[in-house]
Structure 1
Amino acid sequence: MFLSLREQAERAMADALSAMGLPTDDLGIEEPPEDVEAVLASSVAFRLAGEAGRAPGEIAAEIAETIDPGEYGYVERVEARGPYVNVLASETYYADTLEAARDEGYGRLEPTGERVVVEHTSANPTGPVHVGRARNPIIGDAIVRLLDFAGHDVEAHYYVNDAGRQMAVFTWAYETFDESELPEPEREKADYELVRYYRAGNAFLEEGPEAEVEAAEAEIASIMQGLESGDEATYERVGRVVEGVLSGMRESLSRLPAEFDEFVKETRFIRDGSTEELVERLKELDEAVYEEEAWQLDLSERGIEKNLVFLRSDGTSLYPTRDLAHHEWKLENFDRAVTVLGEDHGLQAQQVRTTLELLGNDTEPLDQVLYSYVNLPEGKMSTRAGTGVDLDDLLDEAVERAREEVESRLDTRIRDDELDEDDVERIARQVGIGAVRYDVVSKQPSKAITFEWERALNFEAQSAPYVQYVHARTCGILSEADVEPGTVDPAVLETAEERDLLEVIARFPATIEEAAEDRQPHQVATYTREFAETFNAFYRECQVLSEDRELSEARLALVAASRHTIANALSVLGVEAPDSM
């Protein structure tokens, strides 16, 4: 409803300005301050004051007088307040909002027909997912959910680096070391079992006898050459390691959850010939140079000081080369391609975009979402050295801490057998993992995060449990009423708290639209906090069930609308909405 009201307000402003002979290119529509009784406001009078040669307040007053609210269905009246033009909504607006939000799919936008691929996570399959990079699957999965809810046809892709030196080292190490030479795995899980070989291999290459290291390097080079030449036996050797590690990584990621429609392998673009064809096109560019025994692109005239190396002297391609072929494939098969990358990949993203343009591609459909890494208070983490905190560890601790918090808050329901141990476990998982996801996704991606338990699991502050509790409360109220409200008259919802809640509910679809356009799911998290505060104010001040049947049914309808709104907002963020807490 808010989207329709905003459209009508913009049309009313444009019509008024046209009638006054003033330009309509910037209408200045915005949300008013909290102390203003209006749904929308316009600051356009400030912009027009100089051109019109009149005071902003005078222009605002004339705009308000020119608009006939009767011509715009959701506009009740338009008022000038100083230099601002305020738009107040009609009862029809509130009635339609309440009715629309009683649908379980409330907030989902109409299909756009646009095919979007979102590539995220894409961590090298060299071991368990660690906390430092956990922001990628959390943000990426939230973007997938957000774009889907905004009406796009979305696919989630994981780009698998199965052709680089790391995988050649891993394969050599797996085939070289005996399990008896390795320490016990930290978990009985494929990625934890296999990462021991990778760590042992790296340690040997750094510290082993020179002659044996040279022999190992020769075998590693042979594996890389085998991949580049399309040798099927080599693909099978590397594939055993890659698939083993990926199976464990998928299991960890599914706990978040972060699911993928396709795992796209680098070797695909070697085997289908697109990498080789791309290399020939790159060599023909004016920017192509052969320096330091490698083919490179000199991108300095494009403002990029570091060259992009795309072919080694031994004829093997590099990750950026294959990624360029991958991006051309995405541009050919999708209307828009979103890639979630760590901040340390900013240069690479710039090189890829620039090179694609040099190759004649339209890069407008490409979006990159760059994020800073997640740190724990004790500092940054590293998988290669085996000293990091793995995602599994974080999620285990999240569930355990949440269980302790939930048990400490349990009321007599547990003694009445209304909540058994399975319920406690379910709530602990929903709250614990929800707290991790919410704490990560609620921050603007470009800002660094230091994850702190006290903040993430705070039931009283702006956190996942704080918002989840609102959903649980709506479920409790509706369960207690044990009746579905019929057709209601929203006009009986007269208090400021009721109207504020209706207005916040009405803005949910607009929040989805704006966050999807910006590829910024943290805007939805901000909305959920505002929603929770508004609902809690309503709950404190308005008794839902009373002897006034008409008022009780209207308030129950408002609670049902609130339940659907907050459940869908949390779902977009990938956070479960518990029915009880």
Structure 2
Amino acid sequence: MYLQFRDDVEAALVSALEALDLPTDDLGVEDPPEGVEAVLASSAAFRLASEVGAPPPQVAGQIADEIDAGDYEYVEAASAQGPYVNFLPSDAYYEGTVEQAQSEDFGRLEPSGERVVVEHTSANPTGPVHVGRARNPIVGDSVARILDFAGHDVERHYYVNDAGRQMAVFTWAYETFDEDDLPQPDREKADYDLVRYYRKGNDFLETADPDEVEAAEDEIQAIMQGLEDGDEETFERVREVVDTVLGGMRESLERLPAAFDEFVKESRFMRDGSVDDVVERLKASDEAVYEEDAWQLELDEYGIEKNFVFLRSDGTTLYATRDLAHHEWKFDNYDRAVTVLGEDHKLQAEQMNATLDLLGNDTDKLRQVIYSYVNLPEGKMSTRAGTGIDLDDLLDEAVERAREEVENRLDDRIRDDDLTEEDVSRIAEQVGIGAVRYDIVSKQPTKAITFEWDRALDFEAQSAPYVQYVHARTCGILEEAGISSDAPDALSAEFDASLLETDAERELLEVVARFPAVIEEAAADLEPHVVATYTREFAETFNRFYRECPVLADDVDDDLRDARLALVAAAKHAVGNALGVLGVAAPRSM
């Protein structure tokens, strides 16, 4: 109903401004100032004051006087307060919200018909997923989920570097060294198994006799050249290593969870001639120069001082060159492309955008989400023999810590057999991994953060467990009333939403109603933290309702009970779907 209410507010403002013969290009519709009893407000009076020749409060009063709330189904009243025109919703708004939110798909926007590809993570397949990059799959997967919920046709891609020097080194090492010469893997998992060869190879190249290193480099260069020349045997050799490592990486990412529709390999664009085509077009551009044994682009006109290198002197291309062909393929197949990148790739992103523009592409179709890295606390995740901290380490510790917290809180219920051992394990997994994901996605991507266990797993603070507990509470209320929390799409009883009159009930209705608009905003700005902020506000509002408005108490009459149950079901759908688009589990019990 919030979106319909906003439409009515905008229509009322347009009508009033036209009646006053004032421009309607900027209605200034926004959340009201703090302390103002309204759902929406207009700040248009600020903009129009100079044109009218009157102070903003006077202009706001003129606009409000021109509005007849009775002409609009969801507007109860419009009034001026200082420089703002404030709008209150009608009973139809509240009643419609409860009815609309009975659907398990509540908040999902209408299909846009737009195909969007979201590329994220894309870590080189040289070993297990490192925790330093954990923000990428968490932010990227959340962006994809939000765009999907906003009505877009979304595909999730992982761009695989299977043709660079790293993979040539990996392939050479895998074919050169015996397993007997390697340490035991840290885990029984494919990526941990093969990464031992990669580390052994790099160590050999740094410490071996110069003649042996030279011979090894010749073999590595032959692999790189074979890939560049489209040699099928070379591709097959590299593919064995890449696909095996990717298999292990996928297992780790699926725990977050972060799933992909396609793993797009850069070698495909070498094999189909796309990269050669890009190179020839770049060479022919006025910005191309051959300097320092490489073909480069001068991008001064785009405000970029550092040249973009796209071809080495030996005729081999770079990752960035192949990524240009990859992006042109995206433009040919999708309406929009979103890429999630670490802050250390900001310059490369600027060079990419400028070069794509030089090649004649519509770069308005491309948006990048840049994120800063996550700092980790000291503790069990200490670095192992210089290999770094893997994502699996973080998730294992998260589940272990969550289990301790859950068992401390649920000892009595476990003894009473209300929760089985299987229930405790499920809750620990949902809470632990949810805590990691929520804590990271809840911050603005451009801000560096330090992950802290105590904060992330605090059931009383603004954390994942705090919000998850609200969802579990809604399920508990519904199940106590005999309504399955698995399928509460429609309540068995009719309900009269007009009975929801208290401040706590109305506040909860208002925050439920805003959920579709939150999805709309988060999708437009590619900012998942907007949804996380909403869930925290939602949890606080629901908890106030829970304290002040008993649902199943004996002294609550049947009609009010049914209305409040409908509101609880609406709340369950809103908070459950909000957690869902963040990729955080919504437990039925905690």
TM superposition shift of 1:361: 0.8
Q: Does 1:543 align with 2:583?
A: no
TM superposition shift of 1:463: 0.4
SS class of match (2:289): strand
1:384 to 1:475, Cα distance in 2 relative to 1, 3 A = closer
TM superposition shift of 1:384: 12
Q: Deviations over 1:67-125 (max 9, x none)?
A: 11121110011111222211110100111100010111000000000000000000000
For the 8 Å contact 1:199–1:386, the answer to whether it is kept is no
TM superposition shift of 1:299: 1.3
| One-letter code aligned to 1:337 | A
From 495, 503, 521, give the equivalent of 2:528. Answer: 521
Q: Deviations over 1:395-454 (max 9, x none)?
A: 000000000000000153322212100000000000000000000100100001211101
SS class of match (2:414): coil
TM superposition shift of 1:161: 0.1
Pairing of 1:62-101 with structure 2 (within 5 A): 62-101=62-101
1:161 to 1:383, Cα distance in 2 relative to 1, 3 A = farther
Q: What residue in structure 2 maps to residue 571 of structure 1? A: 580
SS class of match (2:402): helix
TM superposition shift of 1:34: 4.2
For the 8 Å contact 1:131–1:375, the answer to whether it is kept is no
Pairing of 1:166-177 with structure 2 (within 5 A): 166-177=166-177
Q: What residue in structure 1 maps to residue 125 of structure 2? A: 125
Q: Does 1:334 align with 2:334?
A: yes
For the 8 Å contact 1:485–1:556, the answer to whether it is kept is no
Following the alignment from structure 1 to structure 2, what is the Cα–Cα distance between the partners of residues 516 and 485?
34
SS class of match (2:459): coil
Following the alignment from structure 2 to structure 1, what is the Cα–Cα distance between the partners of residues 492 and 539?
22
Q: Deviations over 1:288-341 (max 9, x none)?
A: 111111111111232111111111111111101100000000001000000000
User: Which is further off, 7-16 or 331-340?
Assistant: 7-16
Q: What residue in structure 1 maps to residue 158 of structure 2? A: 158
| One-letter code aligned to 1:368 | Q
Q: What residue in structure 1 maps to residue 512 of structure 2? A: 505
SS class of match (2:80): strand
Following the alignment from structure 1 to structure 2, what is the Cα–Cα distance between the partners of residues 269 and 180?
37
TM superposition shift of 1:385: 8.0
TM superposition shift of 1:36: 2.0
User: Which is further off, 57-66 or 307-316?
Assistant: 57-66
Pairing of 1:54-65 with structure 2 (within 5 A): 54-65=54-65
Q: What residue in structure 1 maps to residue 494 of structure 2? A: 487
| One-letter code aligned to 2:503 | A
1:147 to 1:409, Cα distance in 2 relative to 1, 3 A = same
1:226 to 1:383, Cα distance in 2 relative to 1, 3 A = farther
For the 8 Å contact 1:138–1:256, the answer to whether it is kept is yes
1:435 to 1:468, Cα distance in 2 relative to 1, 3 A = same
| One-letter code aligned to 2:575 | I
Q: What residue in structure 2 maps to residue 439 of structure 1? A: 439
Pairing of 1:177-192 with structure 2 (within 5 A): 177-192=177-192
| One-letter code aligned to 2:576 | A
Q: Deviations over 1:436-492 (max 9, x none)?
A: 000010010000121110111010000000000000000111111115352222221
TM superposition shift of 1:387: 2.9
Following the alignment from structure 1 to structure 2, what is the Cα–Cα distance between the partners of residues 552 and 35?
30
SS class of match (2:363): coil
Normalization by structure 1: what TM-score? 0.98
Following the alignment from structure 2 to structure 1, what is the Cα–Cα distance between the partners of residues 287 and 43?
49
Following the alignment from structure 1 to structure 2, what is the Cα–Cα distance between the partners of residues 411 and 316?
63
Q: What residue in structure 2 maps to residue 292 of structure 1? A: 292
| One-letter code aligned to 2:497 | P
Following the alignment from structure 2 to structure 1, what is the Cα–Cα distance between the partners of residues 213 and 107?
59
User: Which is further off, 226-235 or 30-39?
Assistant: 30-39
| One-letter code aligned to 2:579 | L
Residue-pair matches, total: 580
RMSD of aligned alpha carbons = 1.5
For the 8 Å contact 1:127–1:383, the answer to whether it is kept is no
Following the alignment from structure 1 to structure 2, what is the Cα–Cα distance between the partners of residues 3 and 407?
43
Q: What residue in structure 1 maps to residue 562 of structure 2? A: 553
For the 8 Å contact 1:492–1:554, the answer to whether it is kept is yes
Q: What residue in structure 2 maps to residue 318 of structure 1? A: 318
Q: Does 1:225 align with 2:232?
A: no
Following the alignment from structure 2 to structure 1, what is the Cα–Cα distance between the partners of residues 5 and 457?
37
TM superposition shift of 1:56: 2.1
| One-letter code aligned to 2:222 | S
Pairing of 1:18-29 with structure 2 (within 5 A): 18-29=18-29
TM superposition shift of 1:27: 1.3
SS class of match (1:412): helix
For the 8 Å contact 1:13–1:27, the answer to whether it is kept is yes
SS class of match (1:413): helix
Following the alignment from structure 2 to structure 1, what is the Cα–Cα distance between the partners of residues 354 and 56?
46
Pairing of 1:240-251 with structure 2 (within 5 A): 240-251=240-251
Following the alignment from structure 2 to structure 1, what is the Cα–Cα distance between the partners of residues 505 and 196?
59
